Amino acid sequence: MKKIFIIFIIGIFIVNGLGIEIVVGNYTKEETQILSPSTQTINNDKYEINSKYSYIRSYPGGGGIFIIKMTPKNDFCGYVSLQINADSNLNAVLDKHILNKKSQIAELTIQPNEQIELKTYEIKLTATYHKNSKHIKFINLINKIRFPFLPNLISFLFRRFNNGQGYVYSSDINQELVLEVEMFDWTSENLANATIKRDELINWIETEHPEFGIFSGKNFYAYITYPAHLIVEHWTFLYNKWEMRICYHVTIPPYNWLMICLRPRGEFDFVFAAKREYNGTTYEIPISDYPVFYGY
């Protein structure tokens, strides 16, 4: 009987986690317009949720990241649970399914597979408010373990064996953000050159700004930030502590500059940027001087 119950519970969360394809029109954003980061927002009397970007580009074998921030309001007491609904070929993953006053940032990453169809996809992010939870501390611990199904399992068990009383009260309505990923016919063929460029600036940062720690020897996941964007190459390198972006001009001196921008994983904003000139001179720059295209 115990084995049957465990299999039943696991089945619920496997089914709940399956991605469903949702497709909108196949369109292309303007390729030269520089935009401020666009924001998607859920706003109610308990909390506000912002997505730093509502649209990103990607490609088969590429990547992408959305940054989600929950801001509690005065009468917030409990937590917000997050769920995503996305095409399985995007390999979309939330690093946290529970946000509260102590843990307000979640990241949604994608790693599209090589066979994904070239079109625009929607990812639906659903937020549900729960109040008066006596198991929030336990949920926080589970969040740190980062097994996505566990927070949902714990909440289900508390409701199941306490008839929903005294542990979890949910809002009447689930609120939803819709995020877009547009797929391009592109590849990461210049990764070796981008890695050399990255390491040039990593060495400088480790020497001049040791407060950021060591980047050398880390296992980065790399992808082109803006596929189908020419003249200036833009790359993103991810590992568990940092999001690192670099961009560089592919022409001859004095236009072959190199820039880098850093964001600690789990933070909403970038915290540092630097530029290397064609002659090797390297210096810190305002984060606002790092070029951003297509709203992200």
**pLDDT on residue 77:** 87
Q: Is the pLDDT of residue 109 over 80?
A: yes
Which residue ranges make up each domain of the chain?
2-182, 191-289
Q: Is the pLDDT of residue 142 over 70?
A: no
From CA 248, how far away is CA 286, in angstroms rounded? 17
On average, the pLDDT of the chain sits at: 81
Q: Tell me how crowded residue 267 is: count the other CB atoms within 10 A of its CB.
A: 15
From CA 146, how far away is CA 180, in angstroms rounded? 25
From CA 253, how far away is CA 239, in angstroms rounded? 32
Tokens of 133: 């939870």
CATH superfamily of 2-182: Immunoglobulins (2.60.40.10)
Phi, psi of 38, deg, nearest 5: -80, 155
Question: Between these two residues, 131 and 130, which has the higher pLDDT value?
Answer: 130
List pLDDT tens digits, range 147-188.
Answer: 555 555 655 554 444 444 333 444 546 889 999 999 999 998
Entry pTM: 0.77
Q: Is the pLDDT of residue 22 over 50?
A: no
Return the minimum-mean-pLDDT range out of 27-31, 70-74, 116-120, 162-166: 27-31
